[in-house]
Each structure stands twice: as C-alpha cells, then as structure tokens.
C-alpha cells in the first residue's frame, strides 16, 4: 500500500521533470504562451510579463502517468477512486486552460468571465458529488475537526453546501497563485497530509493520487520557484484546487479543508475584506494590496521570504489537521 503511494510520487516527479524540461516548457515558449501582467499589481511584477503560462500541464501529465502506472492494481480490482479524483480535477484544469487560452490569444490578463467560470465550476462540483454519493464515498454528515462534533444534514442541503465549498476551495487556490512558487509550495504540505491520512486509514487509491500530486508539485517547483521559468496558470491552479477539494471529500471530511487550506482561506479572506472595506469606506484600504501576499511584498518582503513563511504556516496547520485525523481514527 505505502509502496504504491511512494511509487506514484516518484513517477510523477520524474515524468513532470522530464516532460517539463524537454517538451512542455519548450513548446510553451515556441507558442509564445506568455503571461500578461495586470496593471493593478505590484509594479515590479512587470518584469514577469512574457513568462510562459499553462505550466500546470507539466504536473497534470505527471500525475496522469503516475496514477495509471502505480494505481493499475486498484483499477484492475475495480477501485477507481484515484481515477475519479484525477478526472474531477482535470475538469477544473480544462476550465483553467480555456481561461488561459483566452488570455494568451487576446494578450491581456482577462479570460473567461466570472459568471462563465462559476457556472462551469459549480456544474463540475455537483457532478462530482453525485458520483461520490453513488460510489458510497460521502455521507450527509459534517465532522468538525478537533471538536468531535458530527453534524447531520439532509442530502439536498449537504449537496448544495458541498458544491459551494468545492467552488470556493478551488478559487481560493487560484487566488493564492500570485507569486513564484507560492501555490505549489503551500500545497506540498497539503498533499503530504493527504498521503499520510490515506496511509493511516488504508485508503490506497486516494493515497496514490495524493502521492502523485506531491511528486508533481515538487518537480514543478524546479521550474516555478523564484525566479520562475514558467507559471502554472489557471490550468494548473484550478486543477490543483480541484485535487485539494476532491481529496477532502474522498475521505468524507470536507471541513478538514479549513486547517489544511488555511493559507488559501487567509488569501481569499484578505481579498474579500479589502474589496468590502474599500466600498464601505469609499476608497480606504485595510491592506496595502490584496491578496495578502502582495501586502507583504509592499511591506518589503521578497518573494522567497513570503513563500517560505506561508509554506511554514501551511505545514503547521496540516500537522495539526493530521493530529485531528489520527484522533478521529482512534
């Protein structure tokens, strides 16, 4: 069981690194799939203009190869959990790809409209939840980590609530992807949490998927760490968000997203608070810039320091979440 998870991690790392170095990154450069930088961002980000985007294709390909190879025994036995998770995350990846494509084609940092993305994401979330229910992976109960409280809901209420949780989580990861290596780095402890939880509970196929995500992210950081040679784009960030959210539902613990996704949540809340306060006060701001990683940039922190601190915060909260999972299992 554990060996399959480790194999998935190693395979995903290797495939992502090789494809990224020799095929995908050169192809993105030839296609001139460069990122456009928004005028409202930090001025020094202008130097990033033209950096290839859609780099998430690297780890998506690596994860696909890893789950097919390392997870073949489970698939042969009829356990398709890892395949469902990959398919679900890939739907969000396709939405992100369409968004990235529009940005590259129009040479501006605006792709699909907000309502288009929301409706597509909501439809994907609902279909995933229906599949998870049919497969018996989810129940209409919300376990509150650390409080040992189990909230029972009706199926309609649970499905609506969960669909919005998924869409919110996916977009929170997307918002976090604003600095070189930030989204990938803070997601490494998250993926490691899911690997450990899967091993602890004996959920092999989900562990295979989580291991593949972990390996893919580590390899992607070879290209995405500061100074970034490529950005994951919405292709990668929406896929990653789908993976993070999907795995929480695969272990039937959607509220575990609160501790493991603490950085995503803080980033999103900072953006919401900034916009709301700006409108209420007719122009005043809480932060120098939002999301909050830009605030720290404006305070003089360099990108490496921000990524390091945010990743440390993610690691601490993932460790706390793991303690809660172990306590629950016990």
Q: Work out the mean pLDDT of the chain and round it to a whole number.
A: 92
Residues whose CB is less than 8 angstroms from the CB of residue 110 and which lie 6 or more positions away in sequence, other chains included? 102, 103
Q: pLDDT of 189-213, one tens digit each?
A: 999 999 999 999 889 999 999 999 9
Q: pLDDT of 97-131, one tens digit each?
A: 998 888 777 666 566 788 989 999 999 999 999 99
Q: Which residue's structure tokens are 């921000």?
A: 306
Using CB atoms within 10 A of its CB, is residue 319 exposed (0-12), middle (13-18) or buried (19+)? middle
CA distance 242 to 56: 13
Q: Which residue's structure tokens are 């998250």?
A: 190
What mean pLDDT do residues 146-158 have?
Answer: 90
Q: pLDDT of 62-82, one tens digit each?
A: 999 999 999 999 888 989 999
The two structure tokens encoding residue 60: 């998506």
- In this prediction, residue 275 carries a pLDDT of 95
What mean pLDDT do residues 2-28 have?
Answer: 96
Q: What pTM was estimated for this model as a whole? A: 0.95
- In this prediction, residue 156 carries a pLDDT of 96
What mean pLDDT do residues 250-255 have?
Answer: 94
Is residue 163 predicted with pLDDT exceeding 60?
yes
- In this prediction, residue 32 carries a pLDDT of 77
- In this prediction, residue 111 carries a pLDDT of 62
Percent of the chain at pLDDT > 90 equals 78
Tell which residue, 232, 198, 220, has the closest CA to residue 79. Answer: 198
- In this prediction, residue 103 carries a pLDDT of 78
More confident call, 138 vs 48: 138
- In this prediction, residue 40 carries a pLDDT of 57
What mean pLDDT do residues 292-309 have?
Answer: 96
**Structural contact between residues 81 and 250, judged by C-beta atoms closer than 8 angstroms:** yes
pLDDT band at 330 (very low <50, low <70, confident <90, very high): very low
- In this prediction, residue 113 carries a pLDDT of 82
- In this prediction, residue 166 carries a pLDDT of 98
- In this prediction, residue 228 carries a pLDDT of 95
User: Exposure string (b/e) for 53-81, b if CB count within 10 Å is 16 or more?
Assistant: bbbbbbbbbbbbbbbbbbbeebbeeebbb
**Structural contact between residues 107 and 49, judged by C-beta atoms closer than 8 angstroms:** no
More confident call, 45 vs 248: 248
């Amino acid at each position: 069981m554990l060996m399959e998870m480790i194999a998935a991690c190693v395979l995903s790392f290797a495939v992502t690194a090789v494809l990224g170095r020799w095929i995908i990154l050169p192809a993105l450069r030839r296609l001139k799939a460069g990122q456009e930088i928004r005028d409202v961002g930090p001025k020094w980000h202008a130097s990033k203009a033209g950096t290839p985007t859609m780099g998430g294709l690297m780890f998506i390909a690596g994860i696909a190869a890893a789950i097919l190879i390392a997870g073949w025994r489970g698939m042969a036995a009829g356990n398709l959990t890892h395949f469902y998770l990959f398919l679900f995350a890939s739907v969000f990846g396709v939405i992100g790809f369409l968004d990235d494509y529009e940005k590259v084609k129009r040479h501006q940092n605006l792709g699909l409209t907000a309502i288009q993305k929301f409706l597509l994401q909501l439809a994907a979330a609902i279909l995933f939840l229906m599949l998870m229910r049919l497969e018996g992976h989810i129940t209409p109960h919300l376990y509150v980590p650390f409080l040992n409280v189990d909230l029972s809901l009706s199926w309609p209420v649970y499905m609506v609530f969960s669909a919005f949780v998924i869409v919110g989580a996916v977009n929170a990861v997307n918002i976090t992807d604003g600095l070189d290596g930030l989204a990938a780095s803070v997601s490494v402890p998250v993926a490691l949490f899911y690997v450990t939880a899967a091993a602890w509970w004996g959920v092999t196929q989900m562990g295979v998927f989580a291991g593949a995500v972990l390996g893919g992210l580590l390899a992607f950081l070879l290209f995405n760490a500061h100074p970034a040679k490529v950005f994951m784009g919405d292709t990668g960030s929406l896929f990653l968000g789908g993976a993070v959210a999907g795995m929480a539902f695969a272990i039937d613990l959607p509220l575990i997203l609160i501790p493991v996704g603490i950085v995503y949540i803080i980033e999103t809340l900072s953006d919401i608070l900034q916009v709301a306060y700006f409108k209420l006060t007719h122009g005043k701001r809480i932060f120098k810039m939002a999301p909050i990683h830009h605030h720290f940039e404006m305070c003089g922190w360099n990108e490496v320091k921000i990524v390091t601190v945010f990743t440390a915060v993610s690691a601490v909260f993932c460790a706390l979440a793991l303690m809660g999972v172990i306590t629950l299992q016990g």
